[in-house]
Structure 1
């Protein structure tokens, strides 16, 4: 089995690639010219926005794990180009050269409506207002209608293994003026990798699945865990389900997180 990974230098992809290399999985990483990837993975130069550059990347692979995405920018055009147009190009390359390959795409739990009445469920209608989740929904729809063998992982708030994401929680709260009681479904990097591995077995074929741990956590708690406390508030929390996703579908398929709470991650020293 040869697996192509996009986004192999990113927050999630670099850690997934390391685990696959350590497990001696035959990995191919799509990289832009001049970029380097972890030793043990086979780099293939290409760009998701340049269709002709993707042929060599996809030829001969048995699976594609599409993790590349843009979200840390105020430029909405860049977000749409990377997340939608890039995905379209990768789908087209797969359809042309490796139509039987399994295509696993990472999406986000932020696609669910902020004013929902419950934690996000995979079958809920989605109409996100922000460019990042809106572009991911559009990309999801392209994959679902592609005729390929697909699965889509809607990830919770990813953290762990020193990725620095949890440490950003206080700044995120200040930037977006989020209430300290705002609660997010989390998922550790190890369980993101585990979910991808599970998807590659075929257990998720044709499914959209939420990927999260067992203990949604407030921004207030996150900040305290990393030693950067934020002020509490007695003001009422509006839109209390924003950031919360329901992980029961994935568990019904047979997957259980190995890091069920952020507190366990802290105890194990894997924040």
Structure 2
């Protein structure tokens, strides 16, 4: 088990991952900007990714870094770039300086893939996103790959489960972005995010970018129904049918099998 730093501990993914890391026996630190409740056995380090002193305190002596912190729910594109690219650069510099042998894992996003692709997104695809969030995450991936550290990246799909509110937000996203009911997303449950982080911490796919998905993509129409807020269907043609879809063949080649294979299985087991 490792002494590790988690960024983004209060976020949708981090708040569910951190207790699992503690339960797995890791000695955890969490970089937090304010007073938040943390699981027993976790040390909070007050500060952020722009604070060199906090970063030094956070990374000294760690054997691994799990970097989840990101900004995307804002229209302030400069803030997105500062958080996602500059923040990652600052964290990389701190690890290079104070914990150069630490394994560095970063969560990225499947939104980096071209919406007009001819197939589900693959790690070898050329990506050229224009929106600030995926563009900044792609740039951060490149920084990490060129850092000289031991690193890995997982591109996350639509993550859901355990009452996190993400699934419940889908009907609102339909109205906000005009999503087609037949638009289909790759998804993954929090349990499987934890599994993949565990694989990364074990060095299973060092030096690689991999996609995470479960066994079955889900339509917006189905997700709204799972959220208990059904929406109307549509027979209008679907533009860019592969947008939001990823191919997880590479990760499965490393032995990954989802514990929650489908959203339907999560609903059956009461873990939505």
* Larger CA deviation: 137-146 vs 32-41: 32-41
Q: Which residue of 1 aligns with 2:251?
A: 250
Residue ranges of structure 1 left out of the alignment (5+ in a row): none
**Which range moves more in the overlay, 35-44 or 241-250?**
35-44
Instruction: Give the number of equivalent residue pairs.
Output: 271
Residues 112, 127 of structure 2: 8 Å contact kept: yes
Q: Is the 8 A contact 1:46 1:57 kept in 2?
A: no
- 2:137 matched residue in structure 1: 136
Residue deviations 1:16-45 (CA, integer Å, cap 9, x gap): 101122233211111124344233211112
Alignment match, 2:3 = 2
Instruction: Determine helix, strand or coil for the equivalent of 2:252.
Output: helix
Task: For residue 200 of structure 1, report the CA deviation from its aligned partner.
Answer: 0.6
Provide the rounded CA distance (Å) in 1 between the counterparts of 2:255 and 2:268. Answer: 26
- 1:111-135 Cα offsets, whole Å, 9 max, x none, are 0001000000001000111111011
Unaligned 5+ segments in structure 2 are: none
Residues in 2 aligned to 1:75 and 1:115: alpha-carbon distance in whole angstroms? 25
| Secondary structure in structure 1 of the residue aligned to 2:40 | coil
Residue 83 of structure 1: SS of its match in structure 2?
A: helix
CA distance in structure 2 between the partners assigned to 1:126 and 1:251 by the alignment? 22
Q: Distance in 2 between matches of 1:51 and 1:138?
A: 21
Contact 1:36 1:43 in 2 (8 A): no
CA distance in 1, matches of 2:201, 2:256: 13
Counterpart position of 2:214: 213
Segments ≥4 residues shifted beyond 3 Å: 33-36
**In 1, Cα distance between the equivalents of 2:248 and 2:32?**
32
The question of 1:229 aligning with 2:230 is answered: yes
Give the SS at the match of 2:65: strand
Are 1:43 and 2:49 matched, yes or no? no
> C-alpha displacement at 1:110, in angstroms?
0.6
2:160 is matched with 159
Contact 2:45–2:54 (8 Å) recurs in 1 = no
Local SS of the residue matching 1:158: strand
State the match for 1:121 in structure 2. Answer: 122
Q: Is the 8 A contact 1:109 1:154 kept in 2?
A: yes
Superposed CA offset, 1:38-89 (max 9, x none):
3321111221012232101000000000000111111111111111110000
Distance 2:168 2:41 in 1: 30
1:66 and 1:226 map into 2 onto residues whose CA distance is: 29
Contact 1:109/1:155, CA 8 A, preserved across alignment: yes
TM-score norm. by structure 2 comes to 0.97
In the alignment, what sits opposite 1:67? Answer: 68
TM-score normalised per structure 1: 0.98
Whole-Å Cα distance in 2 between the matches of residues 266 and 99 of structure 1?
43
Partner Cα separation in structure 2 for residue 129 and residue 40 of structure 1: 41
Q: What is the rounded CA distance, in whole Å, between the counterparts of 2:13 and 2:69 in structure 1?
A: 9
Q: What are the equivalent positions in structure 2 for 1:77-92 lying under 5 Å apart?
A: 77-92=78-93
Q: Distance in 1 between matches of 2:36 and 2:51?
A: 16
Shift of 1:174: 1.2
Tell me how far 1:243 sits from its aligned partner. 0.2
Q: In 1, distance between residues paired with 2:190 and 2:76?
A: 27
